[in-house]
Amino acid sequence: MPQQRLQLNGLWVLAAMLLLLHFAIWKDFGSALSRSLMLAHLGLFFIWQPLWRRDQRIALQAGILFVLFTSGFIYWMSWAILCSWIVLLIGLVAGQVLENATERRAYLITLVFLVSELLIRGTTELFQVSNLSSSVYQLFKYGLIILPFIIIAFTWQYKRDSHIRPIDFFRALTVSLIAAMLAVGSLLNMYHSGSQYPEALLESLLVLSIFLFTLSWLSSPVIGFSGLAQLWERSLMNIGTPFETWLGELAELADQEKMPDSFVSAAMQKMVEIPWIEGVLWNLDKDEELYGKKTRYRMDLSTGTFIVSLYTRRPIGPTLLMHCKLLVQLVYHFHTAKSREIELMQRTHLQAIYETGARVTHDIKNLLQSLQTITAVIESDESLNKENASQGQLLLKKQLPYITQRLQLALDKLRDPEDVTIEHMSLEGWWGKLQSRINAKNISFQEHITSNPIIPFDLFDSTIENLLENTNFKGQLDNHLNVMISLMTTDTNVKLSVCDSGKKISDHIVEKLFNQPMDSKSGLGIGLYQAAKQAQLNGFRLKLIHNEQGRVCFQLSNEKNNDESLKPGQYSLFSGD
């Protein structure tokens, strides 16, 4: 609870700090009372400061420095030290990166307060400016007291986060230098023109505001001219080595080196060629490799699991540090991209093996079902006379060559799934063999053949077996199920259809049919998904063309638009209807 109350009262601390600073400056500066107020001001500053957490434990060395700094500041307190201190406060306030609108308004008022104290009180006393009127003096003496109370008013709608606010040191330095330049420029203008200090201050403010407005206007992309911004960004990117050149070299290395580790090795060798880098130590997954040589100046950079240590000729400043981080992050992202590329290739290869294995497994399951059917017929024929037993021998004569052929194809797929020769045969030959080996009472055939094209018979066999397997499952639930296998051909098109008189397929299955494997008690899903993929690879399309109660039709066709196939009334599908 105390920590939460301290976070909520962050602006209270800032307002109290400003009030103590104001009274220490305007109430007999240099006296014992003024020094006491300044000591309290410094205490509140170390509570408010944005450099470390207020609840963070101060180390012994930092505590000693704090005591020495406070004692020296109070003992040698003068207008010169005070002006320097106010300039430092201006930089700390202006450099904070703020997201909350209330907080931004409060800190803007703080900047107005500090700049006014610097220009009206600190500068005039330091340089003994005596031409400041008493009315202006009294206005700022009592008027500035109102600003901390306005900041206090913002505390009712402000809640500070517990994390440390980042400091933009470039902006802090810029604003501090602008404030100091405004004070010095006003004095120079006053002595040069012989005018009063308020007039010189207003003239300096006007000139500085015009300069800053022009600079920001030229840097804004709204006007269509971004030359200054481009020069600034290019100066940041091209420190040490041109950024565009380095990016182009990495792109070339990415094309030349296929493996991630070899790419990183080549990139590290390129990085050693940068003039201010003497050596690079690359560490990835506990494997280290040194390029170049080590020096006394080392800088460690890490991105994810990628750790790089740079050895330079001289200490590196903040700008070069940012540049080094960009270079290392580029190498890491290229390395990650190549690793993902290899992983994607492996997954694609495994997916191809999986799909081939799943298709072969389904083929073997269909063949096993055919063998079980033949075995059941032979076992039933053992108790019959010789005339009926000859039916089992005839069935064996028809089915065994077909099963042998299909098993051989399945074995070839398992041996080399990526190099399987697609075997073809004439459509009429395949159709005749299909009719001869299917000898079920509830299955009838219908044909309208005007041409005899060459077809991939493995595709046609697999599709027919999957569709008949589904109808067999329906037949276990419906003893009166009729199945019609029809074949229609033209000069360019082939249409193979399998229709049954069973129940319609539910809508949630139809949505996923042919698109993904799915678990289903009816057997629809895996086999049809594989058959649809195989048909697509061979230039065909497997589709559900009718899904009604008593009429469910699937069609395999090489025609792109086969929505009008098997029009109602074109064929009599079921002789019993």
Cα angle: 381, vertex 485, 364; to 5 degrees: 60
Point out the domain boundary residue: 345, 363, 391.
345
- In DSSP terms, 484 is beta-bridged to 444, 499
Q: Which domain holds residue 434?
A: 426-577
| Lookup result for tokens 């000898």 | 439
Strand ranges for 530-570 from DSSP E: 541-548, 551-557
Is the model's pLDDT at 162 over the cut of 60? no
**Is there a single domain that holds both residue 107 and residue 207?**
yes
Examine the domain organization and report whether 167 and 266 are in the same domain.
no
Range with the largest mean pLDDT of 348-357, 380-389, 536-545: 536-545
Helix (H, G, I), strand (E, B) or coil at 300: strand
225 and 244 co-located in one domain:
no
Confidence of residue 406 (pLDDT cuts 50, 70, 90): low
Task: Specify the DSSP element, H or E, that contains 33.
Answer: helix 32-48
Instruction: Provide mean pLDDT across the span 314-326.
Output: 73
Q: Answer whether residue 131 is part of any domain.
A: yes
Q: Are residues 17 and 90 in the same domain?
A: yes
The helix/strand/coil state of 164 is coil
204 φ, ψ to 5°? -65, -40
Residue length, the chain? 577
Residues 168, 149 share a domain? yes
Tell me the per-residue pLDDT of 122-153, one tens digit each, with 9 for 90 and over: 999 888 888 778 888 889 989 999 999 998 88
Asked if residue 380 belongs to a domain, the reply is: no
- Give the pLDDT mean for 495-517: 83
Crossing angle of helices 169-193 and 101-116, in 10° steps, is: 30
pLDDT, tens only, 181-240: 999 999 998 988 888 888 899 999 999 888 888 877 766 555 445 555 555 555 555 544
CATH number at residue 469: 3.30.565.10
Q: Please check the confidence at residue 166 and state whether its pLDDT lies above 90.
A: no
In this prediction, residue 8 carries a pLDDT of 41
472 is a domain residue: yes
Name residue, tokens 């903040």: 318
Mean per-residue pLDDT over the chain, rounded: 76
Which comes out higher in pLDDT, residue 555 or 225? 555
Residue 18 domain flag: yes
In this structure, are 99 and 248 located in the same domain? Answer: no
Residues 225 and 314 occupy one common structural domain: no
Q: Is the pLDDT of residue 431 over 60?
A: yes
Whether residue 164 lies inside any domain: the answer is yes
- Looking at the fold, whether 303 and 452 belong to one and the same domain comes out as no
Residue with more model confidence, 224 or 335:
335
Residue 381 resides in a domain: no
Within 416-558, residue ranges assigned H as helices are: 427-437, 457-477, 507-512, 526-537
Dist CA 13 CA 158 (whole Å):
13
Residues 343-371: pLDDT tens digits?
887 677 667 666 666 666 666 666 666 66
Q: What's the rounded mean pLDDT across residues 238-261? A: 71
Quick one: pLDDT band at residue 154, thresholds 50, 70, 90?
confident
In a shared domain, residues 333 and 194? no
Final residue belonging to a domain, choices 284, 314, 345? 345
H or E segment and range at residue 358: helix 318-381
Residue 402 belongs to a domain:
no
Q: Are residues 252 and 190 in the same domain?
A: no
Out of 345, 378, 413, a domain closes at 345
Residues 214 and 249 in one domain: no
* pLDDT over threshold 70, residue 449: yes
Domain membership flag for residue 83:
yes
Total structural domains within the chain: 3
Q: How confident is the model at residue 421 (pLDDT cuts 50, 70, 90)?
A: low
Beta bridge partners of 483: 443, 500
**With a threshold of 0.95, does the pTM exceed it?**
no
Own/partner long-range contacts of 6-9 (Cβ < 8 Å, ≥24 apart): 6/54, 6/55, 7/159, 7/160, 7/161, 7/162, 8/155, 8/159, 8/160, 9/155
Looking at residues 92-109, what average pLDDT do you find?
82
> Over pLDDT 90: what percentage of the chain?
16
Same domain, 64 and 190: yes
Phi, then psi, of 259 in degrees rounded to 5: -90, 145
Contact 310, 302 (CB under 8 A): no
Residue position matching structure tokens 């041996």: 415
